[in-house]
Structure 1
């Protein structure tokens, strides 16, 4: 039996302007998983700690993602999966993506890496489809590739790793309320005006350009969402006050992390990111809601090996 213990990171998707196409990988927040190849064929989830999740392979995002990989690999193998959840379900920082991406990354590694990280994205997306009803890649892509990623196309799938300026630091506040991705998607309108679309396209292009040129002011100007945020923000208590507090403390931009309820603020440097954390802590302390705050640099590598076991 070959085994690997991994850290599988949390992610921030959409980044305001890039609904379903942009995401980035966090460095200090994530789950752990222990994945083993065994002589007994079949995929078995043998342990889950930290969350009440299905143990059945076809009902668990990690199991479904590995099923997709092995179906493509065309060999009857045995895989056991242990999941140690530290990212809360429904948090908006890629809980399901961490399990889906981590599982396929680990199995691929144990098989000798027959697939590239970009090729693994399509398998991990099957886990996202189970979780939310939509096979989106904006969380699993950065978890697998690291840093910032852009899904240029879903059909055919085309995922691009972007440049990650070293001074960027993410502050995330997670209110202890659950906003399911499926519920958050239900408030989205399926038609937008041409004016809104043009505005959003410009921001996506500006953000990508800002990342590659390390133009922090351009990054900040581009972290604007005129389509999704106005609809989803009503589901998140104190969103506008958190955003205002973050910007006042020097954050480049602030928005909804994924489908919420987490809110992200992107800053230049750890000092500003820490000041932002304190400012939004003050806002949420008045609500009576429990919350977590994370401060993290950008993880440029994605999933990481903790230990290899022979």
Structure 2
């Protein structure tokens, strides 16, 4: 039996749509696997009533098939589904790491990323790696067709999660098929600024790099109160704010001494818009970690 802790993640980071991601210190899923003749799944924890246990419909079932590693898989969800915090990716990443260990498949962490991405395809329709890459590798990651780059960074974050649901498929359906050249150039500049900030662990540069004119504006319309929450966070000391993944979670970069005030400001702003919310004072953390053998 193998147990793995797999972290929540925040993908896109505004300017890095489908490319950037970070692992969060918390929350996290706990995935436990045990060899079995065929794959079965049990799910408990946050939002477990909405997560299918059929291996054909759950991300971890696809991972078990890809690794040819049938198992009884238990998932204790610390990450609510449809949160923008990589809930399905955490389960897929945790299963990939655990089954690789259980069956001694010998894959490296980077080799496990595309395997875990096959699990993501179950919920999003395509095998995106922007969440599973940080969930496995940790830190700040850049996922492209050429491979995966991981950068260790020390940045304080606040993630505010409203009591709303935005499905990944819905969030992708509103994306524009084209963008003005000026907006593309601005986004490239923001993305490079963010990457430099991660390399330097500079929250000001990272915050400046979160803005984008292409994806965030259309997705913000799916989140009641987004503009007021963003403004409240900036006024409370955040260096930058954007949607976490597909939403509805909202990510803020701030100095550690301002985390509490930023978190409270975001919660209060949602409340002013008639939406209940909770906030995590967190940071960039490690990837999936083996807990027991």
User: Which category of TM-score, normalised to the shorter sequence, fits these structures?
Assistant: over 0.9
Q: Secondary structure at the match of 2:9?
A: strand
Distance 1:292 1:305 in 2: 28
Correspondent of 2:149 among 145, 148, 160: 160
Equivalenced residues, count: 290
Correspondent of 2:167 among 180, 193, 196: 180
Q: Secondary structure at the match of 1:296?
A: strand
Gaps of 5+ in 1: 71-76
Correspondent of 2:100 among 108, 114, 120: 108
Aligned residue for 2:217? 230
Q: In 1, are the aligned partners of 2:234 and 2:240 still within 8 Å (CA)?
A: yes
Aligned residue for 1:190? 177
Task: Choose 284-293 or 174-183, whichever is displaced more.
Answer: 284-293
Q: In 2, are the aligned partners of 1:97 and 1:140 still within 8 Å (CA)?
A: yes
Correspondent of 2:136 among 136, 144, 156: 144
Matched, 1:276 2:271: no
Distance 1:208 1:113 in 2: 33
Distance 2:213 2:151 in 1: 23
Correspondent of 2:12 among 11, 14, 21: 14
Q: In 1, are the aligned partners of 2:63 and 2:92 still within 8 Å (CA)?
A: yes
Q: Secondary structure at the match of 1:59?
A: coil
Matched, 1:29 2:27: yes
Distance 1:285 1:266 in 2: 21
Aligned residue for 1:263? 250
Measured at CA, do residues 290 and 282 of structure 1 come closer, stay the same or move farther in structure 2, by a change above 3 Å? Answer: closer
Matched, 1:214 2:201: yes
Shift of 1:143: 0.3
Distance 1:113 1:274 in 2: 43
Distance 1:194 1:113 in 2: 46
Q: In 2, are the aligned partners of 1:66 and 1:123 still within 8 Å (CA)?
A: no
User: Cα deviations across residues 271-290 of structure 1 (Å, max 9, x unaligned)?
Assistant: 21111001112112223323
Q: Secondary structure at the match of 1:58?
A: coil
Distance 1:306 1:102 in 2: 11
Distance 1:49 1:278 in 2: 29
Distance 1:163 1:86 in 2: 24
Q: In 2, are the aligned partners of 1:94 and 1:139 still within 8 Å (CA)?
A: yes
Shift of 1:205: 1.1
Normalised TM-score (structure 1): 0.90
Distance 2:66 2:70 in 1: 14
Q: In 2, are the aligned partners of 1:162 and 1:208 still within 8 Å (CA)?
A: no
Q: CA RMSD in A?
A: 1.4
Matched, 1:82 2:71: no
Normalised TM-score (structure 2): 0.95
Aligned residue for 1:58? 56
Measured at CA, do residues 248 and 113 of structure 1 come closer, stay the same or move farther in structure 2, by a change above 3 Å? Answer: farther
Measured at CA, do residues 240 and 103 of structure 1 come closer, stay the same or move farther in structure 2, by a change above 3 Å? Answer: same
Gaps of 5+ in 2: none
Correspondent of 1:298 among 259, 280, 284: 284
Aligned residue for 2:43? 48
Distance 1:48 1:81 in 2: 9
Q: Where has structure 1 moved over 3 Å in runs of 4 or more?
A: none
Q: Secondary structure at the match of 1:57?
A: coil
Aligned residue for 1:250? 237
Shift of 1:113: 5.7
